[in-house]
Structure 1
Amino acid sequence: MVRVGLVGCGIISGMHLDAWAQVGEQARVVSVADIDPERAAAAAERSGARAVEVEALLADPEIDAVDLTLPHHLHRDYTERAFAAAKHVLCQKPIAHTLDDADAMIAASQAAERTLVIAEATRYDALVPKARELVDSGAIGRPLAVQVSMNWWQGGEYLQTPWRFDVGLMGGGALVDGGIHYVDYLLHYAGLPVEVSCFTRRVREAYAGEDLAFVQARHADGLLSALAISASSRHTPSYPLRVWGDEGSVIAERGRLVLRRERGEEETFELQHSGMLGPIRDFLACLATGGRPLSGGPEAWANLAYVHAAYDSAETGRVVRLDSPPTG
């Protein structure tokens, strides 16, 4: 059994704790830590773990792995501390709030010979491998373009988190926060582009950074892609993916995938969303086999590089190339 310590007992930690509870005898959360004793106590009661100081958690020789559900700007520090203590690390997305921090986290993982998985839950959605399978099989011919959009209303308890009102700590706005899940979605099909152009807008004063972003990109093989992110849309959230080919298309929304071919032929697949359970199962599989994760450091680095290139473009009003790392 893998013994896990969770650091950071804020909003997202509940999703992690509930997912850990579903893996049975494979793993168990034994300790939780937070700077707020009341939050730590609540997480301990929810999970059956003990609440401890973070220093004690990291120093505990019986803990094999650490789950970090912390603000973006703290990811590097606590990841490096966990690796220094010979723990494996599952870290909430994004990997970090700067590319320098992301580089340091990947280097620390390699130096410690410990696993680093970034909890990009959408990559583990059953739609992702099935859509990729259809595209790779030639079902839509030669892929020409990929479009991903995410529209939701961000509010309530989520926007009461103080650090989310500091763009410097967040590393940006909606694109680097909830939006990076859908950056990951897009890059899984299209790969990191060579050129990016972006426009952003801050619609609501309650939101730190942008809550609206449109990104267009060109990829090395000629593929074109578009990403639209809105955190200020008052309607049922939608998560569509479209991959167009010269012989058909794949259209996906959460739980449903449609393959459309010429002459109006359609095939529909009903699939389940795994939520946070997907990255946790992958993390445990890597610890058991020594294999590479589906969402590891390099994949998460690419997501962040895309976001930073988009921010560079939005700020400067120019097309940004990714043949070298973006600034920031």
Structure 2
Amino acid sequence: MAASGKFRVGIIGLGMASPPHVLSLLDLTDRLDVVGAFSPSAARRSDFHARFGLPTVENVDAIFEDRSIDYVVILTPPNTHLELVQRAAQAGKHVLLEKPLDVTLERSRQVVETARQASIRLGITFQRRFRTTFVEAARRIAEGELGGIVSASIRLANWRPQSYYDEPGRGTLARDGGGVLLTQAIHTIDQLIALTGLPVEVSCLALTSPIHRMETEDLVHATLRFGNGAIGVLSATTAAYPGFPDSIEILGTKGSARLEGDGGVIALMDGRTFLLTDDTADRGSGADPMAFSHHNHRALHEDFLMALEKDREPRVQGIDALAAHLLIDALLRSAKEGETAYLKPFTILPK
């Protein structure tokens, strides 16, 4: 941290994912300074500087070698994450990483293990954990208001036009690591795991629909079974024109909770009903994946700053993203092999 008492931050990656992060950092300039932003594209660096007025660097080494930088925000394609986290760890810099951890389960495990061994904080961009509707539902479920969970299901019905997948590398195993599960549904999957824990077994069908020309899956349906005997379903697609709000449904022995887009309801059998609202409009389920407020990103960045200030783990850690990747890996394994897949969590990093 600089003598001013502010954290010094570097940004790596200035593509589509960067605006909500940068807007969040600009909202927090009383607590941090962005001292350098890098993209290998000179045009992107120029556009970034013109739009946000923040300094850029021509080589990523300038960020890793600047000892004054406390942490880096990594917003590059997934297949670059492991090596960049390794460099940050070697330089002793904390990392706030765009999801997913990396393109494969093993590389993702190495990302988490790298941060642990270097004793750096690793935060993950699962900003939907900061929706007020989710926070309230999670609190009530954790306090037992729904009783024992008997069913937990999620649905993601996004729309992405073919032009989205025509971008070089989009929806490929080499760059993105997967399709709708790892790129879009991972957010809702993370929310489900945070509410209920990991399923213990899954049975899945996955395919590429005639709607898209792409290497990876754009349509998935699966059944889930949890350790306490609860069951559920998972549905995810980017072929649902024109795009619909994501939903989470939890049924318990004392009531139910349903979150859908920016709203939700908790209905208890004792007669109480709680309506949940969130005024941060999220319209990213349609053709424009970035059609949402940066409000939840800002909350994510604020939490990461507090984690550094108080020397604690961020609310969303690497192990959380690893759990989501573990479930996605099991879903795709089940679809490929045509049989039930059983989850075998890594034994590292007890939470």
Do these two structures clear the TM 0.5 threshold for a shared fold by scoring above it?
yes
Distance 1:91 1:150, change over 3 A: same
- Whether 1:279 and 2:285 are equivalent positions in the alignment is no
Structure 1 unaligned spans of 5+: none
Instruction: State the distance in 2 between where 1:256 and 1:34 align.
Output: 37
Residue 130 of structure 1: aligned partner: 136
Q: Deviations over 1:177-203 (max 9, x none)?
A: 011111101111121111111111211
Q: Structure 1 runs of 4+ off > 6 angstroms? A: none
Residue 235 of structure 1: aligned partner: 242
SS of the aligned residue for 2:213 comes to: coil
Residue 65 of structure 2: aligned partner: 59
- Whether 1:141 and 2:162 are equivalent positions in the alignment is no
Residue 257 of structure 2: aligned partner: 250
Distance 1:82 1:160, change over 3 A: farther
Instruction: State the distance in 2 between where 1:9 and 1:281 align.
Output: 20
* TM-score normalised by the chain length of structure 1: 0.93
Instruction: State the distance in 2 between where 1:36 and 1:182 align.
Output: 32
Residue 221 of structure 1: aligned partner: 228
**Does the CA contact (< 8 Å) of 1:102 and 1:301 recur in 2?**
yes
- Whether 1:197 and 2:197 are equivalent positions in the alignment is no
RMSD of Structure 2 on Structure 1 (CA): 1.8
Instruction: State the distance in 1 between where 2:110 and 2:72 align.
Output: 17
- Whether 1:94 and 2:100 are equivalent positions in the alignment is yes
**Does the CA contact (< 8 Å) of 2:172 and 2:214 recur in 1?**
no
Q: Deviations over 1:218-269 (max 9, x none)?
A: 1111122322111111134311111101221111123322111338753212
Distance 1:19 1:156, change over 3 A: farther
Instruction: State the distance in 1 between where 2:117 and 2:334 align.
Output: 34
Residue 304 of structure 1: aligned partner: 325
SS of the aligned residue for 1:258 comes to: strand
Quick check: which one's helix share is greater? 1
Instruction: State the distance in 1 between where 2:186 and 2:200 align.
Output: 18
Residue 119 of structure 1: aligned partner: 125
* Cα offset, 1:163, TM superposition: 1.6
Instruction: State the distance in 2 between where 1:277 and 1:133 align.
Output: 21
- Whether 1:186 and 2:186 are equivalent positions in the alignment is no
Letter in 2 for 1:254: G
Instruction: State the distance in 1 between where 2:61 and 2:118 align.
Output: 19
Residue 268 of structure 2: aligned partner: 261
* Cα offset, 1:160, TM superposition: 4.5
* Cα offset, 1:323, TM superposition: 2.8
Instruction: State the distance in 2 between where 1:38 and 1:62 align.
Output: 27
Distance 1:292 1:145, change over 3 A: same
* TM-score normalised by the chain length of structure 2: 0.87
Answer with 64-73 or 155-164: which moved more: 155-164
Letter in 2 for 1:16: H
Letter in 1 for 2:200: V
Instruction: State the distance in 2 between where 1:112 and 1:140 align.
Output: 40
Instruction: Report the number of matched residues.
Output: 325
